[in-house]
Amino acid sequence: MRLSQNLKQAGRSFVAAVTLCTLPLNAFGQQPTTPEKPQPQSTVLGVSTSTPEYLNGYRHFPNPFAPYTPHKIQDPSFTNTPRIEQLIKNGVLVISLNDAIAIALENNLDLAIARYNLSIADTDILRAKSGGSIRGVATGLVQGTPGGGQGGFGTGASGAGGTTTGAGGAGSGGGGLVQSTLGAGAAIEQFDPSISGTIQIDRNTTPLASPILTSGGATTQNSISQNNTTANFQYNQGFATGTALGIAFNNNRSASNSPGTSLSPLLTSSFRFTVRQRLLQGFGLNNQLRFIRIAKNNKQISDFAFKNQVIATVNQIQNIYWDLVNAYEDLKVKERSVALAQKTLSDNRKQVEIGTLAPIEIVRADSEVATRNQELIVSQTNLQLQQTLLKNALSRNLSDPTLAAIPVIPSDVMSLAHEEPVPPVDELLKQALAQRPDLEQSRIDLTNRDISKRAARNALLPSLDFYGFYGASALAGDQNRLLTCVPTGTSTSPTCIPANTIATRGGYGDLYDRFGESPSRGVGFTLNIPLRNRAAQADQIRSELEYRQAQLRYQQQQNTVGIEVRNAAFALLQNRARVSAAEQGRRLANESLEAEQKKYSLGASTNFQVLQAQRDLALAESNLVAAMSAYEKSRVELDRVTGNTLSRNNISLGDAVIGKVEVLPNVPGVVQRPADQRLQPQQTTPPPQ
């Protein structure tokens, strides 16, 4: 009874000691065991981008084995959202620009791939909370969707959608990947406590070269056997102050048939409580929490990178949409051009039949029809390609039968009823410097590099640690039954302790009660001074150089933004003037053709001049289509370079994060195509997908 009580008391004491040691964990930035408060919303995207399961990990309560089970990640969906099917009417996908953007926010694969990076950044925070090094986040643009032209703000710090190594993304040099000093510094304590143990049972038999007599010389013993049972346990934990705690609890039971052993079985036990504190290298919160701070900053970088991805994708969708609109307009131009050429050919044939025109004019007109037909075929195939590009950009699975074969008709046109005023360049530049996601990423990256720079300075110091320990040991056991003396007068000297003169030392209960009889305590210092210290010097110098380099790169980035803003503003003004000139050119070309046809009917002009006027009209109409396309894209580009794409088009980043649009975008300057100008689906069979 006493033994069981003492065992329970010792077990409770050990558990209490371990629990007491874990209590300070919360005071140094670690996660408490009580339920967490809701995570604050991201100030970057306007909605929480963190998954609590990834950010905090599984807890031991209520399932103690949960931290050792794998997390189940949902398979990606390759099914398009219902929004596409809702827009299909009579086998035709009639889509507005607002609908196209909304569908892209839900289905576009570039966004779907980039969306995973938000959760990947959470795993870095979880890893840093344990005291582990971080793996970095992806900051580059995913550019796997063709069409509309590539572009965007990407920092180029990582591959598309991939996870880079190093905090905030590893650099890339001419010789390949370069490992940055981000995160450099003294080693970080392991904040996640660990319990280790060893339980071993063994039996050892050792033969004797010289047999010994036992039982008063009555028997001869040729070997010694020993049975050992070992149970050792250890608890270790680090803290953000540079403190490390260790508790060791060792136990051993040994039974032997050696007549020279006083106690068999022999019970031994010891414990030691050790505390180590760093005093120079690795001291303080700035060093020990740097990975956590960098990981949280990287989370913001990941949020801005996703915002950048949304801007780039919306920009691309708008360009693809206007390319499709202009492909339809170009097709209309080519169809009118073919119709005019065919009418001229028909008129020439009639005049040749009545003898008022030379037969050679039929050959010229026929050649013109062939040229216009060739241009029409090019326009038709380009239209089919633009439809495919838009369907690909708006879907997860282009092989969906309901989507692959249907034509796409854009229902919007850009309004040119009034000339939109362009704000002053200085105002546009201020907007860009305040709103561009790539600049925000660079600013946060500078903060991370400053953290690493300070840690690299601390790593120059020698390692000086203070430690203290307290412990105790005890033994107990029963008298060895084989411990007897040789009778007096024999040739063997009776050097052993006479039988029945050793009192029984008791069992485990007595063992733990005797801990206070043999205490051990002490304090000390450990000092490590690396001579020359070249590795630490190299890291410190490089961290300073990389920080200065990043400052210059940030300034260069600002200069580049200024050039982009000015170029986009000038392009918008130029393309607006280009549209006006193209409209006037088309009007004049149309009037010239009408005049030339009247003159031709009166015999004052030639067939060649009529054909030339038709070519001029076709060229003028093509120029107008190209000018409209350039103007539409220049408006899109100005929004991109100033960082106004989302706010100007009423796009919710929160909807983009969850992949479900609740608020429909609203692109300004876009109107629905008039009823008398509605586009019709082409009857040509599209090429195989």
Q: In sequence order, what DSSP letters do the residues of 153-174 get, joined into one string?
A: ----SS-TT---SSTT--EEET
> How confident is the model at residue 207, as a pLDDT?
79
pLDDT band, very low/low/confident/very high, at 482 (cuts 50, 70, 90): low
From the CB of residue 271, how many other CB atoms can be counted at a distance below 10 Å? 22
Three-state secondary-structure class, residue 269: strand
More confident residue, 208 or 62: 62
Q: What number is the average pLDDT over the span 380-389? A: 94
More confident residue, 492 or 540: 540
> How confident is the model at residue 189, as a pLDDT?
93
pLDDT band, very low/low/confident/very high, at 499 (cuts 50, 70, 90): low
Q: In what order do the strands lie in the sheet with 219-238?
A: 194-214, 219-238, 243-256, 263-278, 463-479, 519-528
More confident residue, 332 or 35: 332
Q: Is the pLDDT of residue 43 over 60?
A: no
Question: What would the two tokens of residue 437 be?
Answer: 């996601």
> How confident is the model at residue 458, as a pLDDT?
95
More confident residue, 161 or 232: 232
pLDDT band, very low/low/confident/very high, at 127 (cuts 50, 70, 90): very high
Q: Distance (Å, rounded) from C-alpha 229 to C-alpha 222?
A: 24
Contact criterion met (CB below 8 Å) for 190 and 133 = no
Beta strand 243-256 pairing with 263-278: antiparallel
Round the CA-based radius of gyration of the chain to a whole number and report it. 41
What are the tens digits of pLDDT across the range 19-31? 444 444 334 334 4
114: amino acid identity, one letter: A
> How confident is the model at residue 408, as a pLDDT?
94
Q: Distance (Å, rounded) from C-alpha 368 to C-alpha 350?
A: 17
Q: Is the dihedral of CA 128, 134, 135, 137 positive or negative?
A: positive
Q: What number is the average pLDDT over the span 591-618? A: 84
Q: Is the pLDDT of residue 477 over 90?
A: no
Question: What would the two tokens of residue 265 be?
Answer: 């079985």
Lowest mean pLDDT among 90-94, 97-101, 204-208, 497-501: 497-501
Residue 158 φ/ψ, nearest 5 degrees:
-155, 170
User: Among residues 39, 71, 56, which one has the least CA distance to residue 130?
Assistant: 56
Q: What number is the average pLDDT over the span 628-656? A: 93
Q: Is the pLDDT of residue 18 over 60?
A: no
Q: What number is the average pLDDT over the span 604-631? A: 85
Contact criterion met (CB below 8 Å) for 154 and 312 = yes
Average pLDDT, the chain: 82
> How confident is the model at residue 44, as a pLDDT?
61
Q: What number is the average pLDDT over the span 496-522? A: 70
Q: Is 115 left (phi over 0), alpha (psi -120 to 50) or beta?
A: alpha
